[in-house]
Structure 1
Amino acid sequence: MGISIDWFAFVQVFAAALIGALLVVGFYAVGLRLLVRGGRAPIVAPAEFTDAITVISEKEARRAAKAAAKAAKKSPLTDGQKRLARIGAYLSFALCGLAVLAGLSLIVLR
């Protein structure tokens, strides 16, 4: 009784995982870049963890928000270009979600 490995199936799974990861990360990175370019830099409030090594203070969070607002005001883009960049960002995030759903459908439907 020997063990038989279907190498073609292994290559298919490897290729699907690699392509899926590249699509998700790529669309997310492009969406985030367009979102920042459109003047909507995401500011995430720091989380408080009991065992955190470093936690930024409220003063540092305010400074980061102020710097993001200042950078948004300095943007050389017109309002139409900013709107187009935001629309592109949202479309990129939607494509990222579709890539995730396509990967899940491959798992569930097979």
Structure 2
Amino acid sequence: MSVTIDWLAFFQVFAAALIGAAAIVTFYALGLRLLVRSGRAPVVSPAEFTDAITVISEKELKRAAKQAAKAAKKSPLTEGQKTLALVGAYVCFVLCGAAVIGGILLLVLGH
């Protein structure tokens, strides 16, 4: 009984996984960058965790939201450029989701 490995198929799967992961991370990071550039910095409200994570207070959350609003007002971009950055951010997030869904479909429907 001998076991043979199809190395070409192995490297194809490795390359596809590496390229897919890089694409997802790149699109997500670029989407966040464009979202911040458009003046809509994501401010996340604190969550309650038990003993594991230090959570920011309401005061810190309000200060972060105030700083984000202040930074959005100081942006040198015109309203058209901000809108274009926001559309670009949404496109990046859609591409990120499409890459994830495409990977799932390859796993489910592929051979």
Q: Same fold (TM over 0.5)?
A: yes
The runs of 5 or more residues in structure 2 that have no matched partner are none
Counting only pairs closer than 5 Å after superposition, residues 31-42 of structure 1 correspond to structure 2 as 31-42=31-42
Q: How far is the alpha carbon of 1:102 from its aligned partner?
A: 1.1
- Does residue 81 of structure 2 align to residue 101 of structure 1? no
- How does the TM-score come out when normalised to structure 1? 0.96
Distance 2:30 2:46 in 1: 24
**2:51 alignment partner AA:** D
Query: Percent identity at matched positions?
Result: 73
Distance 1:54 1:95 in 2: 33
Moved over 3 A (4+): none
Structure 2 equivalent of residue 89 of structure 1: 89
**2:87 alignment partner AA:** I
Distance 1:82 1:53 in 2: 35
Structure 2 equivalent of residue 60 of structure 1: 60
Distance 2:18 2:76 in 1: 37
Instruction: Classify the secondary structure of the residue corresponding to 2:31.
Output: helix
Aligned length: 110
The alignment's C-alpha RMSD in Å is 0.8
Instruction: Classify the secondary structure of the residue corresponding to 2:28.
Output: helix
The runs of 5 or more residues in structure 1 that have no matched partner are none
Structure 1 equivalent of residue 5 of structure 2: 5
